[in-house]
Amino acid sequence: MKVLVIGSGAREHALVWKLAQSQSTSQLYAAPGNPGMAAYAQCLPIAVNEFDALAGFAEQNQVDLTIVGPEAPLIDGIVDVFRRRGLHIFGPDAAGAALEGSKAFAKEMMTAAGIPTAQHRTFTVHKEAVAYLEEHGAPVVIKADGSAAGKGAIVALDIETARDALRQMMVERVFGTAGDVVVIEDYLQGDEIGATAICNGETYLPLTLTQDHKRALDNDEGLNTGGMGVYTPLPFVNRSQEELIHQQIIAATLKALNERGVNFTGVLYSNVMLTEGGPMVLEHNTRFGDPETQALMLLMRADLLDILGYPTMLSLEPQELWHPGSAISLTLASGGYPGKYRTGLPIKGIEEAERLEGVQVFQAGTALKDGQLVTAGGRVLSVCARGATLREATTRAYEAARLIQFEGVHYRHDIAKRGLRA
């Protein structure tokens, strides 16, 4: 099969790396790709939002399957464009991607369908949002309705932080049009985890559960980011809790979408809070998570192309789908991220890190400058490791991270702490 992966981050690098191992893959393309993907795929100078150019390339080169990494092309309807031209593409159409593209739509649908989620109110006028906040009190979570690259949700433990979040989103417009509508929802307490499923309409194949770390600094301090690290599976989630998540959230969401005329295909990746009252949805995503995908691809034993056509996989046992043990992905970020940061800084040590057992480094914000790999973004690398135990995987990841150098590099030192404690 000829396969095209759309995107340029560590998530897409991990997908390309895994696809390259498939006996069914004859040719890999990445658009636009990154220097790390070039070892496995032909990188194309086509941006993720150039739908006609991407579809045209797929037609001219007889691409059998296109896989979309980032959320923005899905929300903007790339799947609709490809399908109108008779091209096979993995992901939801624009109607399905609205589950991620609009927090207000997702909350309204979940509430109507009885899917467990926090109580909320939706606002388009700043003054009305502030009035509700003053009446409701803190803590609350303030969310920009549209896509904001994983940074549009602000946990406000006090009124002043909540007021500031509303001002940033609705007045200062720091997230642009994503702040046209703002959702204020009740603050939930518990363990936040991720549930990923490969979906085909009403049926789905669940992948192992993950736990992401959104805050920039140790002990969940600092600003929200697109993700500073993740691990899988989760030792503190039992089988009955997992089944509740599958039935009350994944299956119920697919059913609710079908009742609205949306046949959801692709990835449903749900952020879930394990509360005392049971699992509750924080938000839905309609694509592979980042950095979740990096850890999942490292742990996956099965052929990814088989997974994406999953009906044949439903009879397999977990040991046939997954390697034994655990996997972790650690984000190495630029100094100052998620605020201002420098780019163009030389990166050293990746080859040394990848010589360690069970270690793989996926590139995100990188570029080549005069033959030298340099930083080109906030989240620069995902240092991933697999081990027989979570502790072994974590030890390997941090050992590898210490071998990689670029000016200002920073990363969290407590990824998987909750899992290790369990």
| CATH number of the domain that residue 398 is part of | 3.30.470.20
Residue 114 lies in a domain: no
pLDDT at residue 312, rounded to an integer? 61
pLDDT at residue 64 is higher than 80:
yes
**Domain of 355, in residue numbers:** 191-421
* Residues of the chain above pLDDT 70, percent: 97
H-type alpha helices, 126-169 = 126-136, 159-166
Rounded-to-integer distance, Cα 19 and Cα 21, Å:
5
pLDDT at residue 336, rounded to an integer? 96
User: Measured between alpha carbons, how far apart are the two ends of the chain, in Å?
Assistant: 42
Same domain, 171 and 196: no
Residue 221 C-beta-side C-alpha neighbours within 13 Å: 5
Q: Angle at the Cα of 174 (from 172 to 178), degrees rounded to 5? A: 110
Same domain, 78 and 162: no
pLDDT at residue 17 is higher than 80:
yes
Same domain, 405 and 356: yes
pLDDT tens per residue across span 293-331: 999 999 999 999 999 986 666 666 778 899 999 999 999
pLDDT at residue 10 is higher than 90:
yes
Residue 113 lies in a domain: no
* Residue, of 368 and 179, whose pLDDT is higher: 368
- With 0-12 / 13-18 / 19 or more C-beta atoms within 10 angstroms meaning exposed / middle / buried, residue 275 is middle
| CATH number of the domain that residue 149 is part of | 3.30.1490.20
pLDDT at residue 126, rounded to an integer? 95
Band (54; pLDDT cuts 50, 70, 90): very high
Residue 279 lies in a domain: yes
Residue 89 lies in a domain: yes
pLDDT tens per residue across span 106-129: 999 999 999 999 999 999 999 999
pLDDT tens per residue across span 237-253: 999 999 999 999 999 99
Residue 185 lies in a domain: no
Q: 247, 408, 412, 211: which is closest to 327 by C-alpha?
A: 211
Same domain, 8 and 150: no
Average pLDDT over the chain, rounded to an integer: 95
Residue 118 lies in a domain: no
> What's the number of domains the chain is made of?
3
pLDDT at residue 153 is higher than 90:
no
Q: 7, 4, 54: which is closest to 363 by C-alpha?
A: 7
pLDDT at residue 379 is higher than 80:
yes
Band (343; pLDDT cuts 50, 70, 90): very high
pLDDT at residue 309, rounded to an integer? 81
pLDDT at residue 101 is higher than 90:
yes
Band (281; pLDDT cuts 50, 70, 90): very high
Query: Which residue is associated with the tokens 């099969």?
Result: 1
Same domain, 250 and 398: yes
* Cβ–Cβ under 8 Å, residues 58 and 1: no
Band (202; pLDDT cuts 50, 70, 90): confident
Same domain, 309 and 377: yes
Tell me which of 168-172, 198-202, 338-342 is least confident.
198-202
- With 0-12 / 13-18 / 19 or more C-beta atoms within 10 angstroms meaning exposed / middle / buried, residue 414 is middle
Same domain, 199 and 148: no
pLDDT at residue 224, rounded to an integer? 85
Same domain, 240 and 164: no
